Amino acid sequence: MDYSQMELYLKAVGDHNRMLILKYLMKEALCICEFTELLDMTQPAISQHMRKLKAAELVMEEKRGRWTIWSLNTRHPQYPILLHLLSLLPEPERTIESLAAEGKRVICE
């Protein structure tokens, strides 16, 4: 891995909101609309974060109908390091379940 790739990689991970996104993706694949609820951000903001994560090859996207399902790229050479770094972070307070309790569950299919 050269210095530019490493910089891309560390900058992709090194953002509060993207760490949250990656934390959520450790548990399950999710679509953009679910992230907008989980992070309380606009849809374009989430899309742009996913673009950054994808540029660093940290995530994969799968188009399913209208939805784009995002998941961690487990084949990334540094995937084990990513898991380790994420394991150092606390679980996000908001979850899909807690959103469901508020009646905000996004069904996505």
Residues found near its own copies in the complex (CB under 8 A): 1-4, 6-7, 9-11, 13-16, 19-20, 78, 81, 84-85, 88-90
Q: Which ranges constitute the DSSP H helices of 42-78?
A: 43-55
Enumerate residues 1-60 that contact DNA by CB under 7 A.
11, 15, 17, 31-33, 41-45, 47-52
Residue 70 near residue 64 (C-beta atoms within 8 A):
no
Q: How many residues does the chain have?
A: 109
Residue 58 near residue 47 (C-beta atoms within 8 A):
no
Q: What are the residues binding DNA (CB under 7 A)?
A: 11, 15, 17, 31-33, 41-45, 47-52, 61, 63, 65-68, 106, 108
